Amino acid sequence: MTTFSLNQQLDNDCVTLGLFGSSHLLLYNNSLLPWFILVPPTEACEIFDMGPEAQQQLFAEINHLGQFVDREFNTDKVNTAAIGNIVRQLHIHVVGRYEDDFCWPNVVWGTTEKKPYSATEIQSIIARLTTKAEAHFQPASEHMIN
Amino acid sequence: MTTFSLNQQLDNDCVTLGLFGSSHLLLYNNSLLPWFILVPPTEACEIFDMGPEAQQQLFAEINHLGQFVDREFNTDKVNTAAIGNIVRQLHIHVVGRYEDDFCWPNVVWGTTEKKPYSATEIQSIIARLTTKAEAHFQPASEHMIN
């Protein structure tokens, strides 16, 4: 087991929310869409190169996160993808989409329109994860409410 | 169990190769990239809305197909995605990518550059599936070699 280190570009573009199952849960810092990213603790760059138990765990996390996004954000579609052409650290996008969102029906990857979250909006998402996905989510220490 | 019916747009854009596990395996008709599509036999539009056994089956198929693409086409990265903004019938893209391909490092969705396969090239891909993914692949009757 090596120490987890988050890719610099993911770190720059996202807010680390905490853990979702065993993966790190990031929020892509664009409030135009509920766009989450799971980063499993693995050196593999492809899901099929992970061990079978880690794969199962990751698939369960992808499903639970997709359900959370769909239900809590009342989306029209969830887009789920492992791409990794630019950032090789394995990460899975789980993006809630709306039929009137800024790039519908196109994909979000490659778009540049962006509106960063306010601190209050981020806290609100953390609160929803804490109450609605409590079986899976553990907030990062900086987001803990004492 | 309802009769499987393939979405018209998928049918227009792809060649049906056969079955891969319990999913229909399509080849997106663009020889610029090894671009496969799995269509599981479900009415659900999201993987998380499938039953747990069907989900497991589909995840195993996605992994086996990703491995096949990576190894047989010697790709630099595999892009895997369930999008479905335009075609709601659940389908999963498994796309082999190369660092010198026509749209690297961008995603393939939304691109228009295209070179249809010849019949010989399609037969060659079916032959590779039949020999290298024989545990999972069953060619459609029109591709069977007597």
Model pLDDT for residues B19-38, shown as the tens digit of each residue: 999 999 999 999 999 999 99
What pLDDT does residue A142 have? 81
Confidence bin at B112 (pLDDT 50/70/90): very high
**In terms of DSSP H, where are the helices of B14-118?**
52-72
Please tell me the predicted confidence (pLDDT) of residue B141. Answer: 86
pLDDT confidence of A145, banded at 50, 70, 90? low
A104 contacts in B (CB within 8 Å)? 85
Cβ contacts of B88 on chain A, cutoff 8 Å: 77
> Mean pLDDT score of chain A, rounded to an integer?
95
Residue A1 has pLDDT above 60, yes or no: no
Closest chain A C-alpha to B64 CA, distance in angstroms = 7
Mean pLDDT along residues B50-64 = 97
DSSP code at position B2: P
Taking CA atoms, what residue in B is nearest to A59? B59
Predicted TM-score of the model (pTM): 0.96
Which A positions 66-125 lie with beta carbon below 8 A of chain B?
66-67, 70, 77-86, 88, 97, 104-107, 109-110
Q: Which of B77, B83, B105 sits opposite A79 (nearest CB)?
A: B83
Q: Say which DSSP state A142 is in.
A: G
DSSP-assigned beta bridge partners for residue A39: A24
Cα separation of A88 and A85, whole Å? 6
Interface test with B, best of A33, A36, A46 (most B CBs within 10 A): A46
Closest CA to B62 of B48, B76, B73, B78: B78
* Position B144 pLDDT exceeds 90: no
Q: Are the Cβ atoms of A80 and B77 closer than 8 angstroms?
A: no
pLDDT in tens, A32-57: 999 999 999 999 999 999 999 999 99
Cβ neighbour number for residue B120 with a 10 Å cutoff? 7
What pLDDT does B2 receive? 59
Residue type, B54: A
Between B67, B85, B105, which is nearest A105 by CB? B85
pLDDT tens per residue across span A78-109 = 999 999 999 999 999 999 999 999 999 999 99
Q: Which of B34, B39, B107 is nearest to B75 (CA)?
A: B34
pLDDT over 70 (residue B138) = yes
Q: Which spans in chain A are helix H? A: 8-13, 52-72, 119-132
| Structure-block tokens of residue B115 | 């070179």
C-alpha to C-alpha distances, A126 to A94, B18, B86, B119, nearest whole angstrom:
16, 44, 31, 53
